[in-house]
Structure 1
């Protein structure tokens, strides 16, 4: 980014609605904010929270944190305050950058924190939020007057670039620290593949707590391109957004494309500006890939796969309208082959490699494998293992090879995906128990995209549902909560999930 601010100072780096920010403006402003972070939080800040969405503080805050030599920790104001406060406590941020739309949540969020971070309000005044308690607060006037940081503070390859929190089976979110070396490997691999130039314009569709957004920002700013923030309402009919911004690179979860297909938006030839159409985060249905390819005939469609622990994506499959339909399994597009430099194992429950063509759990090692979970050595030991001088991450996804490509057959445990978000059903079950249930089981029923809960030990399931919804993100809240007197168990004394599904079917209205 610094290079582009020198060589392409007037080139647009960021578009938010009608507002355009040049590379020179982004770098100058981010340096001002970085200087303020250093002034308020100390000469070597470690982590900076960014509580903002689709605003200048959301994007420039990331750059400011990195210029200050810190890792950024993206936060979402739409999540329950308790959950966000847990993330702040776990990450122990030294500073928190907050946009105006997130201000109403700030006093409650800071209340009760054992260690209060410095607060930066780039688009607000201190008087707008009177109840912030003690601690440094720098508002828009302070930041505008700040002298820019002369040079970004140096970092090493093993230093953390960002920390993302994902769903955890204990009922609390778990942090994934991603290093600068992890990010560098990902960027180099993807630039070799996509060859972005300053003429490219990238979508920015996902929330910044979702690691697909890291692709948008880093790939654009690494290569002098423009990232164009998307208003969620525009996704209902994105063609004007694509045309207005001249979008060349689309990146989203497949659900976005599937919804557009159902709405009849993907008419043949309707997206002529696209040259890359990238999907990641969940299974890509064959019919969606076919419809998208027809709507964007000049675009190359690719299906990317990868958990946060492997830095955004680690395998890729290129769609070919002539041959790819025959490669699909369960009507889903393959996840392809691993990136160069990454090593894969397909193993059974004992971590023994399975025979070629057999199904097993995908494990990946290489420069994109993150160092483990944030301050969770036991969990790290469960999900990472050493073999042959390499550290592998157990993805929990069942795969097998088919026509030389990896195909993903789903989760081997209680983790599921809803709209691209990875969710551990155990976390929802824990929230239900905290809300009054004695026992709680979550199932994907009656279809793979719907979470249904069955509880016992609570007289009023609707009260349990309402209480748990106050602590869970909307995409994790069960669609319905049913009560049973006692949970059915199998011969091993474990809850019989098959029996619960059968009971739900029997109770289902005709």
Structure 2
């Protein structure tokens, strides 16, 4: 366990840079970054972040993708005493600009691959952040107006920050934006204390050592990426950033890099299973196989277990508001199939120190074995939504001296494990990303649809929309592509003369699904 003096996320990288400086901390393709190099680089960048802010910065955006700048930029922000705000260059510029404006960042770390979108991203921001270009020169950034830029030469010449600003458990480690039902992403601030509780619970479970090598399959705007990076660096292990194309056939990559810990969304494994690539014994180096972000189908767990026979397969569950994951279930090849509900592996039991509460529609706790909404309290419960007190009051509530978060997930306790029964609202998981269907509907309405309903259809990985009004599906699709990430853009948009209604006069989503099954 760690102490209050080293609660800072990223403290482990500094410790291991002293005791095992030459060990590899990060693998990017064929490039290997040692612990000593990673720590020294992050401290140099941190020094310039502090200097540019005129003191400790509050928040630092990281506009980079699977590069040294993206990973070490996060560490530099933490060493400067700031919270990092991950941004994705593949998201529409308007969406990312909204995140930047709402986060009110003091500085922005940008890699060379993200430079083409930088000028447009900064345009219109009421307060321009200082821009750090770790792997590019100022001239390559184009016309940024009066924005202050520190480029690769500046960062290489900087002296490392000697004295890191002190960090308290309640200080923010990162600010992550997730899908919001109003069409505006909502911010989830996560504290150092939140993440420390998560890391300690997971190290107690997985006992990682410097000999472990972890995958990094997630974009950094997905909070599951925090597990890979900091579970590795807190314990002297190596994190290996996989190119997304390598997920389509990861076996050579796993063997070449000696991967011992796999972590991904279940759909990444499901694709391999559907393509017939999960052959028995094809992943012999793995000792832990972890899945999170969406339901884990029984067939996927069985096929993965056969392909990685020396590994333990586990299903993790948790919303961002409860810091990455809050429950876990270990797959048993013998008894596991019988424990599945709706064909999915249970989500298991809460981590030590967390307090589950299952409530009915009236908000009162239900008896064990009855269905209800899962709520959770404990050290991983984040402090509420970013500058959104009304939304915080809706989803966080006090009960018997603890603050609980309403997950919106329906569960039931079966034996000693919770099983997931679905959502009690319009929030779904698409490709592991949490999506508010209402956000997609808001974009469709803004683009001209009189009424709009987004559904997860015909499978768990696809969004289909049904609209009413004089609407052009092609124009609506273009509007979605301009405003939403690819995983939120409907694969098909159907136009109806009117929506089916239920007895309460509300749109009948079940009837819409029936119409889709019948081909409309």
TM-score range, shorter chain: over 0.9
* Among 380, 387, 400, the residue aligned to 1:388: 400
The Cα of 1:493 is off from its aligned counterpart by: 2.3
CA contact (8 A) 2:453 2:467 kept: yes
- The within-5 A match list for 1:128-277 is 128-277=140-289
Q: Which segment is superposed worse, 443-452 or 77-86? A: 443-452
SS of the counterpart of 2:315?
strand
Q: Are 2:409 and 1:397 equivalent residues in the alignment?
A: yes
Distance 1:451 1:398 in 2: 21
Q: Are 2:391 and 1:379 equivalent residues in the alignment?
A: yes
Distance 1:494 1:238 in 2: 46
CA contact (8 A) 1:14 1:21 kept: yes
CA contact (8 A) 1:163 1:175 kept: yes
The Cα of 1:261 is off from its aligned counterpart by: 1.4
Distance 2:234 2:278 in 1: 31
Q: Which segment is superposed worse, 207-216 or 147-156? A: 147-156
Q: State the Cα deviation string for residues 272-305 of structure 1 (Å, max 9, x = none).
A: 1111111111111111111111111111111110
The Cα of 1:483 is off from its aligned counterpart by: 1.3
Distance 1:143 1:105 in 2: 21
Closer/same/farther in 2, CA of residues 357 and 17 from structure 1, 3 Å limit: same
SS of the counterpart of 1:219?
helix
- The within-5 A match list for 1:116-131 is 116-131=128-143
Q: Which segment is superposed worse, 431-440 or 83-92? A: 431-440
SS of the counterpart of 2:483?
coil
Aligned counterpart, 2:376: 364
Q: State the Cα deviation string for residues 13-70 of structure 1 (Å, max 9, x = none).
A: 0000011000000000000100111111220100000011110001000110000000
CA contact (8 A) 1:48 1:72 kept: yes
Q: State the Cα deviation string for residues 362-413 of structure 1 (Å, max 9, x = none).
A: 0000000000100010000011100000000000000001122100011111
Distance 2:149 2:299 in 1: 51
Aligned counterpart, 1:497: 509
State the TM-score, normalized to the length of structure 1.
0.98
The Cα of 1:446 is off from its aligned counterpart by: 2.7
Q: Are 2:506 and 1:506 equivalent residues in the alignment?
A: no
Distance 1:424 1:270 in 2: 37
* Among 440, 450, 455, the residue aligned to 2:452: 440
Q: State the Cα deviation string for residues 80-113 of structure 1 (Å, max 9, x = none).
A: 0011001101111100000111000000000001
The Cα of 1:478 is off from its aligned counterpart by: 0.6
SS of the counterpart of 2:86?
strand
Q: State the Cα deviation string for residues 443-465 of structure 1 (Å, max 9, x = none).
A: 22233332111112233222122
CA contact (8 A) 2:26 2:240 kept: yes
Q: Are 2:88 and 1:76 equivalent residues in the alignment?
A: yes
* Among 36, 48, 51, the residue aligned to 2:63: 51
Distance 1:28 1:458 in 2: 59
Distance 2:486 2:167 in 1: 37
Distance 1:497 1:270 in 2: 42
CA contact (8 A) 1:41 1:117 kept: no
CA contact (8 A) 2:313 2:330 kept: yes
* Among 57, 64, 67, the residue aligned to 2:76: 64
Distance 2:447 2:149 in 1: 36
Aligned counterpart, 1:478: 490
Distance 2:419 2:345 in 1: 8
Aligned counterpart, 1:112: 124
SS of the counterpart of 1:499?
helix
CA contact (8 A) 1:327 1:403 kept: no
Distance 2:242 2:469 in 1: 44
Distance 1:78 1:383 in 2: 30
Unaligned runs of 5+ in 1: none
Aligned counterpart, 1:281: 293
State the TM-score, normalized to the length of structure 2.
0.96
SS of the counterpart of 2:459?
coil
Q: Are 2:317 and 1:305 equivalent residues in the alignment?
A: yes
Q: Are 2:438 and 1:426 equivalent residues in the alignment?
A: yes
* Among 329, 339, 362, the residue aligned to 2:341: 329
* Among 305, 308, 330, the residue aligned to 1:318: 330
Runs of 4+ aligned residues of structure 1 deviating over 6 Å after TM superposition are none
Distance 1:458 1:89 in 2: 34
Distance 1:445 1:23 in 2: 45
CA contact (8 A) 2:297 2:345 kept: yes
Distance 1:292 1:127 in 2: 48
SS of the counterpart of 1:507?
coil
The Cα of 1:240 is off from its aligned counterpart by: 1.0
Aligned pair count reads 508
Distance 2:302 2:480 in 1: 39
Aligned counterpart, 2:110: 98
- What CA RMSD, in Å, does the superposition of the two structures yield over aligned residues? 1.1
The Cα of 1:130 is off from its aligned counterpart by: 2.1
Unaligned runs of 5+ in 2: 1-12
